[in-house]
């Protein structure tokens, strides 16, 4: 039995799954947590990868490997391949002022027309400007910039510090894929290549960037001396986390994915790049050679942590309480911008509760408002895709919060497209494992996915109307 391994180095943790090449069936998995801070030393991600590999029982029986991970987060390397400084994660909001400056200097529409991205505080280019303005010495030492998946792949090839290292330097061996390059805000969907002038404008200097590989290319082979990982096995090109999940789900035109995890993400597939001058849709690339128009929020499943914590209940109890309330929670409305927000661009906003009265301020209505406010923010992203002419004939609901019956119920009360839930799986690691398989065989495997269709429900339009009214009341609309 031939086995392949997929790795997901996400915001919160590193997960490793080992799967059968023939069927995609998971054989075993391992996981290691990442610290919750938003500025971290990159070695954190490498150590978590090695820990997850150890917890999966090692990969000595695996024939190929590939890495997916959080997008945007940069790693700054010097000429010897050593890390220059700690890395600001994509969700670190301290780069907002630097995003404002870049938009002011070149014009917001210029970034959208050149890269397909309405420049946000999450994008790699914004983090470059952050480094230029806050760390001039680190900027001077920076000889190359990679994102997390690029750097971990490079480490698997034996470069960087530590046992089995291929030695200093090796920056020319940094590789990436289209999906990761597209999240930097210095890559063009029209040319499928970097925009060096945008990179230099953000950082104030040039630097080596990872070579962009095709969907079925190999990044290389694993180096020697890496604990738990055999030397000489093929390494797939890897991808960003959403591109990996889209690959595993095999989405087609007219299908959209709503992922409710740390962040909320909605994306679909397109044969051409999208340029949304309204500033909501980001035109990323996928893992197959197409494009992945995407909208994201900073606030999603963690809203339920806050709601359950305040009510002193479990997630299941939060869902049960919410379902006891009427749609619209008798007017009680939550705008769940607890961590600021990316879509809409409200980095300094905070969560707010609207139209509370002695009559409607109850446990069940509050639980319902938490669910409805979170889902309404995600449905607004579907509306942004529709405004770009991207139809949604079927919606796939994934992520940790997808199991909530209250989330499922509210979502089907807010959208008129069929909603389906794929069978429980780790779709990012599964997509990465498919890329590992392609590095071995030269083609993506055909691994089936089972879906459960949720019951259709009458639309409850007041949920969305209340959400929009609260946005207007605070001047956010």
Contact predicate 215/443, CB 8 Å = no
Distance CA 251, CA 71 (A): 20
Distance CA 175, CA 181 (A): 10
Where do we find the tokens 């889902």? 375
Catalytic site residue from 8, 92, 241, 330: 241
Where do we find the tokens 């209505």? 365
The dihedral through the CA atoms of 427, 87, 177, 114 has a sign that is: positive
Question: Is 241 known to be catalytic?
Answer: yes
The encoded tokens of residue 213 equal: 């590989």
Question: Residue 15: enclosing H or E segment and its boundaries?
Answer: strand 13-20
Angle between helices 315-324 and 405-414 (to 10 degrees): 40
Contacts of 309 (CB under 8 A, 6+ apart): none
The encoded tokens of residue 98 equal: 């630097």
Distance CA 44, CA 31 (A): 14
Distance CA 362, CA 341 (A): 27
Q: Which residues are known catalytic residues?
A: 241
């Amino acid at each position: 039995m031939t086995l392949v391994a997929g790795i997901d180095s996400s915001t919160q943790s590193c997960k490793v799954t080992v799967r059968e090449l023939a069927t995609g069936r998971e054989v075993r998995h391992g996981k290691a947590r990442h610290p919750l801070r938003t500025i971290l030393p990159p070695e954190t991600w490498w150590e978590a990868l090695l820990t997850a590999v150890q917890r999966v029982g090692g990969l000595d029986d695996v024939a190929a490997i590939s890495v997916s991970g959080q997008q945007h987060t940069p790693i700054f390397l010097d000429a010897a391949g050593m890390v220059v400084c700690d890395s600001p994660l994509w969700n670190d909001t301290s780069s907002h002022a630097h995003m404002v400056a870049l938009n002011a200097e070149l014009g917001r529409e210029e970034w959208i027309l050149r890269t397909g991205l309405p420049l946000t505080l999450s994008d790699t280019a914004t983090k470059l400007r952050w480094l230029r303005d806050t760390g001039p010495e680190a900027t001077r030492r920076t000889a190359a910039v990679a994102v997390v998946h690029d750097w971990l792949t490079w480490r698997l090839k034996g470069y960087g510090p530590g046992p089995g290292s291929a030695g200093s330097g090796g920056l020319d061996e940094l590789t990436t894929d289209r999906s990761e390059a597209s999240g930097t805000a210095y890559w063009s969907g029209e040319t499928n290549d970097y925009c060096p002038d945008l990179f230099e404008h953000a950082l104030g200097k040039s630097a080596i960037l990872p070579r962009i590989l095709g969907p079925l290319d190999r990044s290389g082979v694993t180096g020697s001396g890496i604990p738990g990982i055999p030397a000489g096995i093929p390494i797939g090109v890897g991808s960003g986390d959403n591109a990996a999940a889209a690959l595993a789900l095999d989405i087609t035109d007219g299908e959209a994915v709503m992922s409710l995890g740390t962040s909320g993400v909605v994306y679909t597939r397109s044969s051409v790049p999208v340029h949304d001058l309204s500033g909501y849709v980001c035109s990323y690339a996928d893992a197959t050679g197409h494009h992945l128009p995407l909208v994201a929020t900073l606030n999603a499943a963690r809203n339920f942590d806050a709601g359950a914590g305040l009510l002193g209940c479990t997630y299941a109890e939060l869902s049960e309480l919410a379902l006891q309330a009427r749609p619209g929670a008798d007017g009680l409305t939550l705008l769940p911008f607890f961590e600021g927000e990316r879509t809409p661009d409200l980095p300094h906003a905070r969560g707010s509760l609207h139209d509370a009265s002695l009559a409607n301020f109850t446990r069940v209505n509050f639980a319902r408002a938490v669910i409805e406010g979170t889902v309404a923010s995600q449905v607004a992203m579907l509306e942004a895709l529709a405004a770009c002419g991207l139809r949604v004939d079927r919606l796939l609901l994934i992520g940790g919060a997808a199991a909530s019956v209250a989330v499922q119920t509210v979502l089907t009360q807010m959208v008129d497209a069929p909603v389906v839930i794929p069978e429980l799986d780790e779709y990012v690691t599964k997509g990465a494992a498919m890329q590992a398989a392609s590095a071995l065989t030269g083609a993506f495997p055909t691994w089936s996915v089972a879906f459960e269709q949720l019951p259709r429900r009458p639309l409850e339009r007041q949920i969305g109307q209340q959400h929009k009214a609260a946005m207007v009341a605070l001047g956010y609309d």
